[in-house]
Each structure stands twice: as C-alpha cells, then as structure tokens.
Amino acid sequence: MDRFDALRVFTRIVERRSFTQAAQDLGLPRSSVTDAVKQLEERLGVRLLQRTTRHVSPTLDGEAYYQRCVSLLADLEEADAAFVGAQPKGLLRVDVHGTLARRFVLPRLPEFLERYPGIELYMSEGDRLVDLVREGIDCVLRVGDLHDSDMVARRVAMLEEVTCASPTYLARHGVPESIEALQQGHRMVGFRSSATGTLLPLEFTVGGEVRHVVLPATVSVNGAESLVASARLGFGIMQAPRYHLEEDLARGTLVLVLPANPPTPTPVSLLYPRSRQLSPRVRVFMDWLARGFAAPAGEDTGRA
C-alpha cells in the first residue's frame, strides 16, 4: 500500500471510529487496514490512535495528523482532477430525506452516473442531522432552517408549502374561512420535530406577517409519510411541501385549506462539515443537485 493510500485508510478510521467499518468503506481486508496504521505509526514514531475492544479514537497527535491528511488528500484529488479528461471517482456517501430522494434525486440520477461513471454512490435516507464525520457521510440534503455552526450549508431550493385536510374531515368539522375559525373545533395532525421532540405549530401568512397556530392533535407523528397518511384518514389539518401532496390534490384525497394564507416556503440545503475540504466528487454532486432543483422536470442536468 502506497503512502497516499495509507493516509486515506487512516482518515477513514478516524471518521468512522472503527477499523472494521473503514475497511468495509474502502473495500479492503481488515488486516490491510490494521497494517497500514501500524506502518504509519512506526514511520512517524508516534501513536496516532487509541484502541479499545469497542472504540477507536485519535490521540492528540493523531487528531493533528488527521487534519493535515484531510487537507493533503483534498489537494491531491483537486490536482488529479485538473488534468484534461480527469474525472472524479470513488465512493460518494450522501444522506437524503426520503421524499426528496424519490422526487428530486433518483429520477435524474442516471444522468449523473452517466456523466461520472467513476463515482459509486451510496445514499442513505433520514431526517435527522447525522454526524457526517463520525458516520463517514460526505454531504446531506435537508429541509428546514438549520443552526449547526459546524456545517457549511448551501441552499438549493425553497419549497412551496400548503395546508390540507381530507374531504371527510372537512365534511365533519366544516371548511375554515379564516385563521380565527380554526379555533372553533378544528384539529391538526401533529408533527413532532425529530431533533427536539416538540410539536410544531401550523404556520400561516396574513398580510405579510407570519402567525402560528397550535390546534389539538389526536394523532402526532415524526415522519412525512405518516403525516400525509394521517391527514388522508381524516385526523386533522396538516401542512407539507406541495410537491409531496400533488397526487393527493389531483385525486381529491386531500383538499387545500386557507390557500390565501399559505405557510412560508421551506428551505432545502446541502450541508457538509466545515472542517473538511470538498473532494471533486462531492463538489460535482452538489453542483449537479443544485441544478436539478432549479431545472424543470425532464431537463438534463448532467452538463457542467
């Protein structure tokens, strides 16, 4: 194993806190990963990693060496990519909210992989803010306002939000004609933040100002699919991005409520660690995805 490969092995171990997971990520035998670190430590004359039966963590020297390795490897990939005909390659690990993946990422993914055949994509789904460094994720796509100072956020879209309820719910409780009418016996499908566990209020824009309304909730959930399913079953009023509800609105299984007072649009952002330089494969993916949100459906976004 050459020196640069050994550095890649070491950085992945630090990020994954595991020899085994690092070996799996890199497609190497665990013995090769162990030998690479042993040879690095012997050559440098310092201990880089603290090892126990359950945990691996960098020493102070190891943390300093890791930061230099990340910068050096990013510069090396950048230099390789600068040559004519060079293409980004390697494993790209991204984490995407499931509904966003199915609507905005997967339909256009063949274009991306055709343009960058050397990239192998692993896409996990979630709505929690993962620890990118610890879990070995290169970037995440998230919905909503973000406050993590350790992340660099690149906004790629603003999603239109709408308020809906099922026809059976509205037949039973009446169609509200104003924000005030919501307080007269209406209910909502509660959505609990996966980060804080708190029940999020409904949001309405009235005369340029935002008003928040909390209604009784017989059912509360913390997943987008369950939110929509609960509204279809008539448990209450809900709010979600319009793209997620287009089929229901077209079929009439959900109906718009108070369309003149919509929620504020919701930001969609790509995030990556502030401490990590972007590799060429991460950069081209982020650029491609940003174009995908801006392009009409069916338009090729694979071009640079």
pLDDT tens profile 239-277 = 999 988 999 999 999 999 999 999 999 898 888 877 666
The pair of structure tokens assigned to 292 is 């995908």
- Helices 30-44 and 3-16 pack at an angle, to 10 degrees, of 110
pLDDT single digits (tens) 268-290: 888 887 766 677 888 899 999 88
Which is more confidently placed, 296 or 115? 115
Task: List, in sequence order, every residue forming a beta bridge with 173; answer none if it has no partner.
Answer: none
Q: Provide the CA 167 distance to its chain's centre, in angstroms.
A: 33
Alpha carbons 80 and 61: distance in angstroms, whole number: 28
What pLDDT score was predicted for residue 128?
54
Model confidence over 151-166: pLDDT tens digits? 788 888 899 999 999 9
* Structure letter (DSSP) for residue 52: -
So what's the pLDDT on residue 251?
96
pLDDT at 113: 93
Q: Do domains 90-147+270-294 and 161-264 have the same CATH topology?
A: yes
Between these two residues, 104 and 86, which has the higher pLDDT value? 104
C-alpha 272/C-alpha 290 separation (Å) is 14
CA contacts within 13 A on the Cβ side of 66? 23
Average model confidence (pLDDT) across the chain: 85
Mean pLDDT of 65-90: 75
**Strand intervals (E) in 111-201:** 119-125, 139-143, 151-159, 161-165, 190-192, 199-200
Give the residue-averaged pLDDT of 127-139. Answer: 64
- Better pLDDT: 8 or 298: 8
Residues forming beta bridges with residue 51, ordered by sequence position: 56
Residue 12: how many other CB atoms lie within 10 Å: 21
What confidence score (pLDDT) does residue 82 get? 63
**CATH classification (class only), 3-81:** mainly alpha
Domain boundary assignment for the chain: 3-81, 90-147+270-294, 161-264
Please check the confidence at residue 201 and state whether its pLDDT lies above 90.
yes
Range 134-157 average pLDDT: 77
DSSP code at position 180: G
Q: Average pLDDT for residues 284-297, to the nearest whole number?
A: 79
**pLDDT tens column, 19-76:** 888 888 888 899 999 999 999 999 999 999 988 767 788 898 888 888 788 778 877 7
Q: Which long-range contacts (CB under 8 A, 24 or more apart) does 42-48 make?
A: 48/10
Q: Which CATH class is domain 161-264?
A: alpha beta
Please provide residue 18's backbone torsions phi and psi, each rounded to the nearest 5 degrees: -160, 130
The domain made up of 90-147+270-294 has a fold known as D-Maltodextrin-Binding Protein; domain 2 (3.40.190)
Task: Taking residues 127-150, report their average pLDDT.
Answer: 68
For residue 202, what pLDDT is reported?
95
Strand order in the sheet with 199-200: 199-200, 190-192, 220-221
Per-residue confidence (pLDDT) for residue 297, from 0 to 100: 46
